[in-house]
Amino acid sequence: MAKKTPNPIDKHVGSRVRMRRMMLGMSQEKLGDSLGLTFQQVQKYEKGTNRIGASRLQHISGILQVPVSFFFEGAPRGEGHQGGGMSEAPSPAYVSDFLATSDGLSLTKAFMRIKDAKLRRRIVDLVEQIAGIDD
């Protein structure tokens, strides 16, 4: 029997759970304990392998101190969705994918601690130059 691939929405919601959990410095085990689940179940939710039910998502939102809508921000649109000419816009998924990594989260936290806005801009310019991005 072929493996079923996770639904893109389930993957997105799971990655947002992971990102927020990591922002709070919370382990999968601690989140699982708060939900009465194993850390393996939390892993499956975060990967999108298992779908998170509505009541469980509401519980997770309380534990992670965000509104339920947080988990759907930047979610991929379904095939039948009627967008107002926005279908050409690039997906913000790469941002949440980056922030869901420990490197992305560490870099973002450190960057936001830099108080000097001009210095932050110069760092962005430097990184863009290193990456070969021309405006």
Query: How many Cα atoms sit within 13 Å of 133 on the Cβ side?
Result: 7
Please give the C-alpha separations between residue 126 and each of 67, 114, 129, 133, in angstroms, as whole numbers: 35, 15, 5, 10
pLDDT at 10 over 80: yes
Structural domain span for residue 3: 1-75+94-100
Length of the chain: 135
In terms of domains, do 69 and 22 share one? yes
Q: Are 11 and 48 in contact (CB under 8 A)?
A: yes
Report yes or no on 126 lying in a domain: yes
In terms of domains, do 70 and 108 share one? no
Across the chain, mean pLDDT equals 84
Cα-to-chain-centroid distance, residue 74:
9
Report yes or no on 2 lying in a domain: yes
In terms of domains, do 53 and 109 share one? no
Report yes or no on 83 lying in a domain: no
Domain count, the chain: 2
In terms of domains, do 108 and 70 share one? no
pLDDT at 77 over 90: no
In terms of domains, do 13 and 64 share one? yes
pLDDT at 85 over 70: no
Report yes or no on 85 lying in a domain: no
pLDDT in tens, 35-73: 999 999 999 999 999 999 999 999 999 999 999 998 988
What CATH number did the domain enclosing 18 receive? 1.10.260.40
Report yes or no on 84 lying in a domain: no
In terms of domains, do 49 and 114 share one? no
What's this model's pTM, rounded to 2 decimal places? 0.64
pLDDT band of 78, cuts 50, 70, 90: low
pLDDT in tens, 98-126: 777 788 888 888 888 999 989 989 998 89
In terms of domains, do 10 and 53 share one? yes
Report yes or no on 88 lying in a domain: no
Lowest mean pLDDT: which of 13-17, 48-52, 95-99? 95-99
